[in-house]
Structure 1
Amino acid sequence: MTTLLTFLGTGRYESVTYCWGEKAAKPIHLFPIAATELFPVERVVVFLTRQARESDNFKDLHNALGDKLKPVSIPEGRSEAELWEIFGQVADAVGAGETVILDITHAFRSIPLIVFNVAAYLRRTKNVTIEHILYGAFEAREPFRTPPQPEDRVPVFDLAPLLELLDWTSGAEALLKRGDAGLIAEKIIETHQRLWTKGAETLQKPTKLKLLGQKLQNLSKALHLSRPREVMPLSAELVSLLSDAREEFHQWAKPFALIADQIRQELEGFAFGTSDELSRQSLEKQLQLVEYYLQKGLIVQAVALAREWVVNWVALHCKEGDWRDAHFREKKLEATLNAAARRSQGKQEELPPWWNALPLADRCAELWDWLGDLRNDLAHCGMRTKAAGIESISSRAKEIPERLRALLEHAGAHSLRGGRRVLDLSQLYGERARLDELPLYLARARELAGEGNEVVLTGQAPIWLYLAVAHALHGKARRLLYDSPVTGEVCIFDHTPR
């Protein structure tokens, strides 16, 4: 059901011909009557003051619309309290999920501003579809005659697109304050799709806006799910894409263009293209991501990443094992950190020689113990007898960057690349491998292989595909092996530093 929400005053309205595009209503002095002729409306709710309700305007409106009309009395809006009363009455007139057309043609004083705010409120809280916000532009009539004649044509403007600016504003605020790109990414994608669905109406069309929106959506999810190994390469891609798509969002997504440079500067802090590399540089990027989390009030994510940062710092000095392997991290690195923390508390613990050779080993152990207590308090949602207070958690979280940076200064200059990836080549194609689709297979193989990993090729596939993939991964994989039930693992090349 489509409901028209309209307003009526006591002024003298002249009869004119209201036009919506090529469609014209019969000459009438009250726009709400013309609106029911120009648009498919089942119900009309008119908001009017006591004086307007007693006027001839309301009598004419009621005679024309009959049972379709529902009058709602409102105050004159002479005070803040009365303005809020009007806001509430307009919002209460609409049910959840309804489709609404708003009309401000005969609205008075500040009512149009209230209407725009109500429209934004209803869309967010009641999932209401605002189909149009109409304004019969009496001053733009053609021909412009005084007095106006019934045949004078008055264009009807749709102001609903201005609501889009409120969405863009909300999206920008969410991204800048909380690192939540969901809404603004949605607006960017919608803009791209709308321009493409216009068909031949628009000669020039965007090619990068949709990708930009999708990357922002993925980044937002990765940020809030504490996935730094996805956040950092996504940020690197977005920094580049923000430059490549600059002309497009300046042309078609101007609200985003105003904050694009600020977003790019924030992302540059933790943009890192090689997610499988552990080095001083990657630790620096992770630390800047911790700082970003704290700036956005994402304390849980900041504490979780800070704890893993310490494990990564230790892994960099351990110089063995796969730093990304969960078993290695838990059974060797975290177990050593736990033992060192207990020793810092005066308990007897045996620690491996590599730990004792660490720079700032004692400080690292103390930090691990301190972070563990903070992290456990958050992870267990304060469900313990001596749970920390909210202010205590916030205060301690602010100390994290400085404590981590003290260790970062002793991170060393070497780097680690971990990971073993198994590529089943039969999964690259459908029923039959096709030479003309080889570029697609190679692109997928490179994506699956990642950078600097040990890669195992296996699965049923033609020899030419094996050869092509092996060649494509040269310089990308650290070590490449072939594996089959007959041969077992056979090394093709090994570029592991000795």
Structure 2
Amino acid sequence: MTINTLISFLGKGKADPQTGYRTATYRFDAGFSRRVAFFGMALTEYLKPDRLVLVGTAGSMWDVFFERAGDDDAMLQLMAAVEAGEVTQDMLDLPRRELARQLGMDVDCLLIPYARDAGDQAEILRLLAGVVQPGECLSLDVTHGFRHLPMLALVAARYLSRVVGVKVEQLYYGALEMTTPEGETPVLKLGGLLKMLDWVDALATYDKDGDYGVFARLLAEDGMAKGDADLLTRAAYFERTGNPVRARETLSTVFSSVEAHRGALGGLFRETLKKRISWFRRGKRDDWELSLADAYRDRGDYLRAATFMYEAFVTRACNERSDDPTDFELRKKSYASARAQQPEVAKLEYLRNSLAHGVRPRADQEARTLDDEGRLQTMLKSLRNKLFKP
């Protein structure tokens, strides 16, 4: 069974001498609002999670959940520690038990450092990872923490998703500074920031390995027809299996959908995506293949770079002889004829075969080339300049 967990950050509030936080009426939607001092309590009632995790520092308002009048020794000790900024993890057993009783759910209280430096910040991520399990669905409340903690919470959401395997559903913020003249404080959902990070991740993935299929799911979630979005995955498959003709056909079909897309996030990244898939518009087949060779060389995928450069040479040889570049036997004949005129292409053929089969060339100079990335880059660029003169 999926566990739904709310992680709520506690800050250090002094606006109200009794509650610590200023009481506000938080408006979630047309049918739900609550007037509370601590936003996390209203959010807990709204979401009805299975579990609540309260996160705060040694100076956070851990006593905000209790009446400040009383003579309970543990309560007085906690209140004094909050005032002094000296709360310890052991002291948090009291608010944990009391809140679990009030809310009727599992509650954890997590003491974190102040995130003053990279060490503190990394420690917070480690502590958060220790209180969640793979498969949990998380919601994060960043209303009351220190002002720098929402930035860390955003990183934490991505970290927990990638490293632990949780699903972050939403980030919530009770925007007290946006309180209306009628006295209602809007509740903002900041999950769009996570979606933006998904797009940034997709761009990084594409730049690394050239798979623009990673944009398909994001475009579909952003409103593009799923059938159109899936064409990107199909085009990427054809390209990465050495079939630029089918890749071009598929891209030419979906490109107009990418151009016309006006989704909130897709529109933000549309021009960048168009630039990355526009190779199919360049000239003839040998131009497409050479463009792909350049792109794969630049991102360090040397086998594909050598393969597409070799295929571009063969295709160009077919074009010069007016042979059909899709006919395998004619490609062989055209290549043999062109090789006789440009023997330098043999180096490209040997290089492609060496990369494909993992066998080093016999010649010491060529073997040294494959043992050094800089030399390999230089050789590929040199072969391109010699074999594809303007």
Instruction: Tell me the secondary structure at the aligned position of residue 249 of structure 1.
Output: coil
The answer for the alignment partner of 2:312 in structure 1 is 309
1:286 aligns with 2:289: yes
The answer for the alignment partner of 1:367 in structure 2 is 345
If you compute each CA radius of gyration, which structure gives the higher value, 1 or 2? Answer: 1
The answer for the alignment partner of 1:114 in structure 2 is 152
Q: 1:65 to 1:183 in 2, by over 3 A?
A: same
Instruction: Tell me the secondary structure at the aligned position of residue 26 of structure 2.
Output: strand
1:123 aligns with 2:100: no
| Offset from partner CA, 1:397-425 (integer Å, 9 cap, x none) | 2223213214xx6xxxxxxxxxxxxxxxx
Instruction: Tell me the secondary structure at the aligned position of residue 186 of structure 2.
Output: strand
1:49-64 mapped onto 2 (5 Å cutoff):
49-52=57-60, 55-57=62-64, 62=96, 63-64=98-99
1:9-408 mapped onto 2 (5 Å cutoff):
9-11=11-13, 12-24=20-32, 27-52=35-60, 55-57=62-64, 62=96, 63-66=98-101, 68-142=106-180, 153-176=184-207, 178-192=209-223, 210=226, 212-238=228-254, 241=256, 246-249=259-262, 253-260=266-273, 262-263=275-276, 266-269=279-282, 281-316=284-319, 323-326=325-328, 329=331, 337=336, 355=337, 361-363=340-342, 365-368=343-346, 370-382=347-359, 388-391=370-373, 392-406=375-389
The answer for the alignment partner of 2:16 in structure 1 is none
Mapped to 1, the partners of 2:288 and 2:45 lie a distance apart of 61
Q: Which amino acid aligns with 2:216?
A: A
Mapped to 1, the partners of 2:302 and 2:345 lie a distance apart of 17
Mapped to 1, the partners of 2:109 and 2:318 lie a distance apart of 72
| Offset from partner CA, 1:17-43 (integer Å, 9 cap, x none) | 433213436543222222221112111
How far does residue 105 in structure 1 lie from its aligned partner after superposition?
1.3
Mapped to 1, the partners of 2:144 and 2:341 lie a distance apart of 75
Mapped to 2, the partners of 1:308 and 1:246 lie a distance apart of 30
Mapped to 2, the partners of 1:251 and 1:41 lie a distance apart of 29
Mapped to 1, the partners of 2:170 and 2:265 lie a distance apart of 21
Q: In the alignment, is the contact (CA less than 8 A) between 2:27 and 2:33 conserved in 1? A: yes
Unaligned runs of 5+ in 2: 14-19, 68-94
Q: Cα RMSD over matched residues? A: 3.2
Q: In the alignment, is the contact (CA less than 8 A) between 2:10 and 2:60 conserved in 1? A: yes
TM-score if structure 1 supplies the norm length? 0.61
Q: Which runs of 4+ in 1 moved over 6 A?
A: 383-386
Mapped to 1, the partners of 2:263 and 2:134 lie a distance apart of 36
How far does residue 219 in structure 1 lie from its aligned partner after superposition?
2.6
Q: Which amino acid aligns with 1:35?
A: L
TM-score if structure 2 supplies the norm length? 0.76
| Offset from partner CA, 1:147-193 (integer Å, 9 cap, x none) | xxxxx543322111221111122223434564321332321112226
Unaligned runs of 5+ in 1: 145-151, 194-208, 271-280, 338-354, 410-498
Instruction: Tell me the secondary structure at the aligned position of residue 262 of structure 2.
Output: helix
Q: In the alignment, is the contact (CA less than 8 A) between 2:55 and 2:112 conserved in 1? A: yes
Q: In the alignment, is the contact (CA less than 8 A) between 1:25 and 1:37 conserved in 2? A: no
Q: In the alignment, is the contact (CA less than 8 A) between 1:138 and 1:154 conserved in 2? A: yes
Q: 1:383 to 1:318 in 2, by over 3 A?
A: same
The answer for the alignment partner of 1:451 in structure 2 is none
How far does residue 235 in structure 1 lie from its aligned partner after superposition?
4.2
How far does residue 362 in structure 1 lie from its aligned partner after superposition?
3.8
| Offset from partner CA, 1:255-279 (integer Å, 9 cap, x none) | 2234255346544336xxxxxxxxx
Aligned residues: 345
Q: 1:234 to 1:372 in 2, by over 3 A?
A: same
- Single out whichever of 115-124 and 13-22 deviates more from structure 2: 13-22
How far does residue 3 in structure 1 lie from its aligned partner after superposition?
0.7
- Single out whichever of 373-382 and 94-103 deviates more from structure 2: 373-382
| Offset from partner CA, 1:283-305 (integer Å, 9 cap, x none) | 33332332233233332112112
Q: In the alignment, is the contact (CA less than 8 A) between 1:33 and 1:64 conserved in 2? A: no
Q: 1:252 to 1:103 in 2, by over 3 A?
A: closer
Q: In the alignment, is the contact (CA less than 8 A) between 2:179 and 2:185 conserved in 1? A: yes
